[in-house]
Amino acid sequence: MSVRILKELDERQVRLGYVNCVVLAGGRHLDTRTGLRRRFDDFVFHRVYEGTAEAAAFLPQIDEDGKRALERQEQQRNRDRGGKKRTVDVAEVLGRDRRKGRFQYRSHLWILQRCMPSHLGPLAPDRSEVFLEHAKHIGMLAETYALTEIGHVLKQLLLQQDPLVMEGRPTSNPLYIGSRLAIRALYIWALLENDVLTPFLLREFIKRRQNDPELLAAATEGLLEAFGRDLRIDSARELKELRDYFERVSQGAKAEAASRVEPTRTKRAGATGIAAFLDKTSGVRRGLKIHRHHARPRLEHYVDLGLLGRRRDSHSAETVYEPLAATHRAVSAWQLILDNPRSVRRFLDLGFFTSVSTIFDVRVAQPCSRLELLTYFAKAFELVSREIGFTPARTVSFTACLLALEDGRVAEIQAMFDAVHASAKTALGEHLIFSGGSRLDGEFLIRVKPEALKYLQEHQYDTEEPTGTH
């Protein structure tokens, strides 16, 4: 398919950093859902007990808002719910181990740290499977629950940034997406590839400047309109899926709008008790469900990535978000997708990294020379190569472009492919082993000998020719 959208989202999926934790718990081997979920749970739901050295190490990382949130959680746990009818010790169930005392989950303490752009979205252990599915939907996990190529790249970047991240230290917060530009760029790539609605939703937000119920429906309508221009017969199936999704979200928006105009609904004859309540709130619930499960997770993802701002002092869900300079730059940089969403695949190969350098205002960004392209390719191979056999050149090229971006250099996938292909006919070709490939799509597998990087450092040729962008 030329375009994809995230049709299944959940309100619990607001913090994108939990996908980092899924990826860190995963591997390239075939896996089971149960096994992966158990490793994920062990990592994020590790108990940090009050009064321990571990708990004391977390506190300096938590801001005043976070500390107040901890106090509110403690009050909630100790509240006597239900009066005399309460038979369950809520304090024990929600936050107390009979043997060791009160505790907080490690991931909840990470969310409350001052580095996080939002404290929204602590995950409960009984619903952790929602992030396994989310990791699949945005392309990090395969149907077999093994890491995909992009999932493997993400894991290697996380481990390169902090080899001890799996120890779960307070100062190493995997929920914080903004800690590394390469990781933010990787997630933006994943969103554009798997949810082409992204630039349309940002554009619509700039127009409205608030998170109103019609926001998602209007953005989807804009996508549908752009997709329908110069439509080809082989895109009929995609058009139908987009229309189905538009109908789904627009009906929810209409239901919520109607509930605001007519807060009371006519009861069914004889309806009493819970039936009467459901009659009264059915429209509201449908609208809020679309809003909670489809709009808010997307907007919070953009907050994590630095594409959207969040006012912590706002108490209204409609006014909590605000556009940033990066929001405006993103909409401008992704105009090609806004004009023709079917071009997203080509855009990712030819212009994505240039757009990211513009969005995040990488001021010194310059196109890579041929030498730099090959050098980053060799470095990327060391980071993401398979231990046995060949590695897809696209995986290596993608990683190379991410590494270049962090150094203020711009390279695109196609330029990287061209440079590596051309080098096969040079002396460097002795250090490159090609395998397979297709003349139709240009894909190929490769192995880069360890001597290649040293050779490039000793033979600096073609340094004057910028080939990083096309």
Question: Tens of pLDDT along 68-106?
Answer: 888 877 676 565 444 444 444 444 444 556 567 889 999
Q: Which residues contact 161 (CB under 8 A, 6 or more apart)?
A: 179, 180, 183
User: Is residue 384 included in any domain, yes or no?
Assistant: yes
Residues 17 and 140 in one domain: yes
| Whole-angstrom Cα Rg for the chain | 25
Neighbours of 92 (CB within 10 A): 11
Number of folded domains that form the chain = 3
Predicted TM-score of the model (pTM): 0.88
Query: Which pLDDT value is given to residue 273?
Result: 52
214 part of a folded domain = yes
Q: Is residue 26 part of a domain?
A: yes
The answer to whether position 351 is within a domain reads: no
Residues whose CB falls within 8 Å of the CB of residue 146, separated by 6 or more in sequence, listed in order: 26, 27, 28, 29, 30, 31
Task: Let me know if residue 84 belongs to a domain.
Answer: no
- Residue 446 phi/psi, 5-degree rounding, is -155, 155
Q: Are residues 309 and 371 in the same domain?
A: no
What is the rounded CA–CA span in Å between residue 310 and residue 77?
28
CA 319 to chain CA mean position, Å: 23
What is the phi-psi region of residue 118: left when phi exceeds 0, alpha when psi lies from -120 to 50, beta otherwise? beta
Same domain, 321 and 409: no
Query: Can you list the residues of the chain whose pLDDT is less than 70?
Result: 1, 74, 76-99, 256-288, 314-318, 364, 437-442, 460-470
Q: Do both 55 and 169 map to the same domain? A: yes
Q: What pLDDT was estimated at residue 1?
A: 58
Check whether residue 22 and residue 133 sit in a common domain: yes
Supply the pLDDT for residue 465: 47
* CB-CB neighbours of 98 under 10 Å: 7
Read off the DSSP letter of residue 122: P
Name the residue range of residue 327's domain: 196-341
